[in-house]
Chain A
Amino acid sequence: MRADIAARKRYELLFGALGLLALAIAVLTFLTLFVDMAVKGLPRLDLDFFTSFPSRRAANAGILSAWVGSTLVMVVTAVFAVPLGVASGVYLEEYAPKNWVTDLIEINITNLAGVPSIVYGLLALGLFVYAFGLGQSVQTAGLTLALLILPVVIVATREAIRSIPGMIREGAYAVGATKWQTTKDHIIPYSLPGILTGVIIGMSRAIGETAPIITIGALTFIAFLPPSPVTTDFPFLSFEWLKAPFTVMPIQMFNWTSRPDEAFHANAAAAGTILVFMTLAMNGLAIWLRYRLRKNIKW
């Protein structure tokens, strides 16, 4: 019998070792890439790099227009993707009748999350740029990326809602709450940690997207900033920046890597390091927010 147990335990050990190996390959590959990039880019990382426009001289070039562009595009993306995605998710989960139409919509949304991003770019070029005449601008890019992450936000919202136990819902209904009261007082607040995590994961995917942004015609070299959203005249807010041409971090990187001059490759590595840190920071924020908000939500 002992021999039998020992024989079976050998497989346990074997699987453990295989799993560790797989994990090591994944982590080491990423670490090697990242460290290599960081080592190349770090000498270029200083304050000037953040506050300079791109330049013909590698030593003077910076990422000012790229990070400002990325930030503005992300704002537009969030403003459209979050309310649309959360409302769709809540409707599908709480309100929609359970029939074949709903099933069809569900399957399509899940599949949309897997559509190559270039396809969204082509759609946006035809729809936003030509049909709606929104131009090759911040607003077009924001809307395109909003479309891209919409399925992620919807799926995250639905999963967060599904994790709320049915008895909590019944408890609310049992004291006479309507469906909307139950939704706004319980369903949305309790699913917020999951929704926020989904939103941020979606945004950190969007910030690194290049293909759809190139398709809609982002500039690769831009030496000015979009108009400021805050003005000195009444009403002190301006939305002109929405219509401005722009570039984003990954495009700036792409531009630099395609140049023959070795010095620009260092710039690209530096920009890449920053982009990775931006993504990591967003994921970190997602984890922190989820932890903070879930602390008080126990069933």
Chain B
Amino acid sequence: MVTPMEARTQTTTNATMLGSARAGANAPVASEAPPPPLKAESHNLSFYYANKFQALKGITMPVHEYCVTALIGPSGCGKSTYLRCFNRMHDLYPGNRYEGDIVLHPDNTNLLAHDVDPIEVRMRVSMVFQKPNPFPKSIYENVAYGLRVRGVSNKNLLDEKVETSLRGAALWDEVKSRLHEVGSNLSGGQQQRLCIARALATDPEILLFDEPTSALDPIATASIEELISELKKKVTIVIVTHNMQQAARVSDYTAYMYIGELIEFDKTDTIFFKPRRKETEDYITGRFG
């Protein structure tokens, strides 16, 4: 098992490989409280689309348990591609290829291994998409679907799970009287919370958010951000965002990516106030991107 400290060193190594010598950069971090335990980590992860385009170049990065990890970077930097490796979404399209691995703790399962079924991965790592995508079914069936595909048909259990998931997504009070109405009639923000409830219903270990607020108005965005901060008590979260303020508001750790490479990974405060790399600083301060 790789300890958090080792993972951190690997990140450093990775960054060093990218051409920046930063000896001793770890020293100030070590004096602070130890980082939370690891939930997952990617080792030297590269990804190739079917057209041979290499979208990720050797990414080594930790994901800490019960924390929010934000992935930021300009369009096309590979942050969404990286996120979608965590639940093997790329397997849906033929010709895509992974190299390296993503290890999920505590059982050290390599999510990208050939003998690990993507369905198993998606049962442990759930996802919320950029645009709300509720099924054109009732609110109840939307939330219950993840359990139904696992063969759960006990009405009481489903009722209970639907309620706790909708409460977890801060949607219960708004929809409890109309659980059997169609989910696509809800507002955009409610639809996105419905999708979060759907993802929560199966008790995932990691919840992936792919720019969850990019299709929402500012008020709905605020409610989703508040929800994310609440959810991290129960589930590890990785979020891709275009919005740097959002990353600063909701995340504990931030990774800055650029053209398929991980430029810098650190605590969010450090990334935003004392970035070690010039590229990160340029992006954060808006001089670039």
Interface residues in chain A, defined as those with a beta carbon under 8 Å from any beta carbon in chain B: 97-98, 165, 167-178, 181, 185-186, 190, 296-299
Docked Cα-Cα span, A240 to B149, in Å, equals: 43
Query: How large, as a class, is the contact surface on chain B?
Result: 20 to 34
Docked Cα-Cα span, A88 to B149, in Å, equals: 24
Binds A, one of B20-28, B106-114, B121-129: B121-129
**Is there contact, CB below 8 Å, between B94 and A172?**
no
Q: Is B198 an interface residue (CB 8 A)?
A: yes
Q: How far is the CB of B150 from chain A (nearest CB, A)?
A: 7
**Is there contact, CB below 8 Å, between B195 and A298?**
no
Residues of A within 8 A of B150 (CB): 176
**Is there contact, CB below 8 Å, between A170 and B136?**
no
Q: How far is the CB of A92 from chain B (nearest CB, A)?
A: 15
Q: How far is the CB of A160 from chain B (nearest CB, A)?
A: 14
Residues facing A in B186-245 (CB within 8 A) are 195, 198-199, 201-202
| Contact among A172, A174, A178, A185 with B199 in the assembled complex (CB-CB below 8 Å) | A174
Residues of A within 8 A of B89 (CB): 170, 173-174
Q: Is B9 an interface residue (CB 8 A)?
A: no
Docked Cα-Cα span, A174 to B128, in Å, equals: 8
Interface residues in chain B, defined as those with a beta carbon under 8 Å from any beta carbon in chain A: 87, 89, 92, 94, 119, 122-123, 126-127, 129, 131, 133-136, 145-146, 148-150, 182, 184-185, 195, 198-199, 201-202
**Is there contact, CB below 8 Å, between A298 and B127?**
no
Given known A296-B182, A297-B136, A298-B182, contact A175–B131 (CB-CB < 8 A): no
Residues of B within 8 A of A174 (CB): 87, 89, 122, 126-127, 129, 199
Q: How far is the CB of B162 from chain A (nearest CB, A)?
A: 13
Residues of B within 8 A of A170 (CB): 89, 92, 129, 133
Minimum-distance CB pairs A-B, first 6 = A175-B146, A176-B123, A167-B133, A298-B184, A174-B127, A297-B136
Residues of A within 8 A of B123 (CB): 176
| Contact among A165, A176, A297 with B202 in the assembled complex (CB-CB below 8 Å) | A176
Which residue of chain B has the shortest Cβ distance to A171 in the bound complex?
B133
**Is there contact, CB below 8 Å, between B136 and A178?**
no
Docked Cα-Cα span, A181 to B148, in Å, equals: 10
**Is there contact, CB below 8 Å, between B133 and A165?**
yes
Residues of A within 8 A of B92 (CB): 169-170, 173
Residues of A within 8 A of B119 (CB): 176-178
**Is there contact, CB below 8 Å, between A97 and B94?**
yes
Residues of A within 8 A of B126 (CB): 174-175
Docked Cα-Cα span, A178 to B118, in Å, equals: 9
**Is there contact, CB below 8 Å, between A296 and B136?**
yes
Given known A175-B122, A176-B149, A181-B149, contact A168–B133 (CB-CB < 8 A): yes
| Contact among A98, A169, A178 with B149 in the assembled complex (CB-CB below 8 Å) | A178
Docked Cα-Cα span, A98 to B50, in Å, equals: 12
Known: A167-B129, A174-B199. 13 other contacts (CB 8 A): A170-B92, A171-B129, A172-B135, A174-B89, A175-B145, A176-B149, A177-B119, A178-B119, A190-B136, A298-B182, A298-B185, A299-B136, A299-B184
**Is there contact, CB below 8 Å, between B182 and A172?**
no
**Is there contact, CB below 8 Å, between A171 and B135?**
yes
Residues of A within 8 A of B149 (CB): 175-178, 181, 185
Q: How far is the CB of A186 from chain B (nearest CB, A)?
A: 6
Q: How far is the CB of B96 from chain A (nearest CB, A)?
A: 13
Residues of B within 8 A of A171 (CB): 129, 133-135, 195, 198
